[in-house]
Amino acid sequence: MAGKNSEPRKLNNPAMGWLLGRVFRLWRSAISQSVKPMGMTEARWSVMMKLRTLGEGVSQHTLASELGIELPSLNRTVNQLVELSLVERREHPSDKRCKCLWFTPAGNQQLQTLEMFVGTVRTELTRGITDEELDSMFNVLKKIESNACELLDKPAEGGL
């Protein structure tokens, strides 16, 4: 690995970053297409899936940060999810100014259906790839994430 004072490392394929971005966009588009009949937009399903990953009771600020979006953008989507009775805001126990997010019973039911669709897309997209290859790819991506976070002096995401 190239250190701060060493020669830059020559990649075998300099388009790897571009390909990672393309695969990310295609993956998200495939999920969005799959869940469209549920009335789920990318913004909505992204918020619901990240809330599931982080756990109910997470603050809106933390959720926005983890999604890499601004709080006003998250608020618009959360407002939609509240109107659909899928998510509810509750006051933080020790800070009344802070709003935390929880799934409603309808939201939990919608989440189960959403997870089924996402799982089907994941299965289709990883068809022909062995479990060992997927594990290796995941480990490589986690190392790249860690290196990027170190370079940017940001903590790596821990809740995967």
**For residue 30, is it within any domain?**
no
CB of 114 closer than 8 Å to CB of 40:
yes
* pLDDT tens by residue, 13-58: 778 889 999 999 999 999 999 999 998 999 999 999 999 999 999 9
CA 122 to chain centre: 14
- Residue of higher predicted confidence among 3 and 142: 142
Residue 109: give its domain's CATH number: 1.10.10.10
Q: Which domain does 95 fall in, by range? A: 38-127
Question: What distance in Å separates the CA atoms of residue 130 and residue 116, rounded to the nearest whole number?
Answer: 21
> How would residue 97 be classed by pLDDT, with cut points 50, 70 and 90?
confident
Please give the tally of structural domains in the chain. 1
Residue 58 lies in a domain: yes
